[in-house]
């Protein structure tokens, strides 16, 4: 009987407690975010893109007074890049940072930004991404199910192999090379006479270890972060591709937000991108130093051989950029 009365008393206070907590009168710490969003990232916790994601989440929390909380999941906890993009399209995941090789299926035109030997150097790529062309490519994702927010750095990609070094384009012939799950990347290996092995990033180490791939290709930071140097010690500086990374949000999530919140997200994404870029070069240098110290053999092709790699990949422009050749010329002309 007494218990029933105590329970009834508690119930009578419930509306008051709900009201107080709704008005924030039960203390600031009790305030509950209006939105809790997920963010997919396939790199390790200390990798520059993950650091950028964490900075993004922090900035958004600050600028929305805690109304928007973003939970960053590194190490592909939410699935591979390909599956994260799919989940974003249906609103199962709210944000992701992905390689353009994974996102370009959503905008055929965006492939122009990752063509082999397109940029003279990193500064050239950043002038393109930060200028009108970068904006035009972001706009080309309209209607794809994801909204691009900013560009992140991913350095330059190089081949690496398990049992023999690649010194000339001919050396790729007959080798099984792991690539991202993307047609352009597979064709690039075919142009060199190799056999493409498309796999998610998380599976590369074991593919190299078990021999289902004889080599792979990526930047210094990824080669080191995923410990690929332990199983593939020949790293060839052919510098075939700069593939920008993108921070994206699901269209489903975007549509729920007010214009003000969208503006905050864009600003914070831009700021986090500048932060990621500021971390990139030193991470890449320290990764290189570390793997060299651990026994990686670095092959630097002569300018003539580099030109031959470039020529071998030229047919890809015709196949993938037919309607966009004018845009390619515009990119080449950017200072």
Cβ atoms of 147 and 103 closer than 8 Å: no
Of 243 and 265, nearer to ligand GCU (C-beta) is: 243
Cβ neighbours of 195 (radius 10 Å): 15
**In the complex, what is the shortest distance from the CB of residue 74 to ligand GCU, in angstroms, rounded to a whole number?**
11
Of 103 and 166, nearer to ligand GCU (C-beta) is: 103
Rounded to whole angstroms, the Cα distance separating 184 from 181 reads 9
**In the complex, what is the shortest distance from the CB of residue 176 to ligand GCU, in angstroms, rounded to a whole number?**
15
**In the complex, what is the shortest distance from the CB of residue 263 to ligand GCU, in angstroms, rounded to a whole number?**
27
**In the complex, what is the shortest distance from the CB of residue 20 to ligand GCU, in angstroms, rounded to a whole number?**
46
Of 48 and 169, nearer to ligand GCU (C-beta) is: 48
Of 276 and 305, nearer to ligand GCU (C-beta) is: 276
Q: How many residues does the chain have?
A: 335
**In the complex, what is the shortest distance from the CB of residue 203 to ligand GCU, in angstroms, rounded to a whole number?**
10
**Beta-strand pair 234-241/157-161:** antiparallel
Of 64 and 158, nearer to ligand GCU (C-beta) is: 158
Residues that bind ligand GCU (CB under 6 A): 42-43, 81, 98-99, 154, 180, 201, 218, 222, 245
Cβ neighbours of 6 (radius 10 Å): 10
Query: How does DSSP assign 134-189, residue by residue?
Result: HHHHHHTTTTSSEEEEEEE----EEEEESSS---SGGGGTT-EEEE-SSHHHHHHH
Of 58 and 181, nearer to ligand GCU (C-beta) is: 181
Residue 116 structure tokens: 């082999």
3-state secondary structure (DSSP) of residue 298: strand
Rounded to whole angstroms, the Cα distance separating 241 from 193 reads 18
b/e per residue 33-63 (b: at least 16 CB within 10 A) = eeeebbbbbbbeeebbbbbbbbbbbebbbeb
**In the complex, what is the shortest distance from the CB of residue 275 to ligand GCU, in angstroms, rounded to a whole number?**
16
**In the complex, what is the shortest distance from the CB of residue 258 to ligand GCU, in angstroms, rounded to a whole number?**
30
Residue 153 falls in which region: left (phi positive, over 0), alpha (psi -120 to 50) or beta: beta
């Amino acid at each position: 009987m007494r218990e029933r009365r105590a329970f009834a008393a508690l119930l009578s206070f419930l509306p008051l407690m709900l009201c107080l907590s709704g008005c924030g009168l039960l203390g600031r710490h009790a305030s509950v975010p209006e939105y809790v969003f997920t963010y997919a990232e396939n790199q390790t916790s200390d990798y520059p893109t993950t650091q950028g994601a964490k900075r993004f989440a922090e900035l958004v929390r600050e600028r929305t007074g805690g109304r928007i909380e973003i939970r960053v999941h590194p190490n592909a906890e939410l699935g591979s890049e390909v599956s994260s993009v799919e989940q974003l399209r249906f609103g199962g995941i709210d944000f992701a940072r992905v390689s353009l090789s994974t996102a370009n299926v959503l905008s055929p035109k965006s492939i122009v930004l990752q063509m082999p030997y397109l940029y003279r150097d990193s500064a050239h790529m950043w002038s393109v991404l930060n200028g009108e062309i970068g904006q035009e490519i972001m706009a080309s994702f309209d209607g794809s199910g994801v909204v691009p927010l900013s560009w992140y750095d991913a350095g330059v990609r190089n081949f690496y192999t398990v049992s023999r070094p690649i010194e000339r384009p001919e050396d790729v012939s007959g080798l099984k090379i792991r690539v991202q799950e993307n047609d352009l990347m597979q064709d690039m290996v075919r142009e060199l006479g190799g056999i493409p092995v498309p796999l998610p990033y998380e599976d590369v180490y074991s593919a190299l270890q078990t021999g289902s791939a004889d080599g792979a290709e990526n930047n210094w930071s990824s080669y080191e972060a995923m410990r690929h140097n332990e199983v593939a010690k020949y790293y060839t500086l052919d510098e075939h591709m700069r593939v920008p990374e993108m921070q994206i949000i699901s269209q489903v999530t975007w549509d729920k937000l007010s214009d003000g919140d969208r503006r905050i997200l864009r600003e914070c994404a831009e700021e986090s991108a500048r932060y990621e870029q500021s971390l990139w070069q030193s991470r890449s240098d320290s990764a290189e130093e570390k793997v060299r110290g651990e026994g990686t053999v670095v092959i630097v092709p002569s300018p003539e051989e580099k030109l031959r790699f470039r020529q071998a990949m030229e047919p890809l422009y015709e196949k993938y950029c037919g309607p966009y050749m004018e845009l390619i010329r515009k990119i080449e002309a950017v200072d």
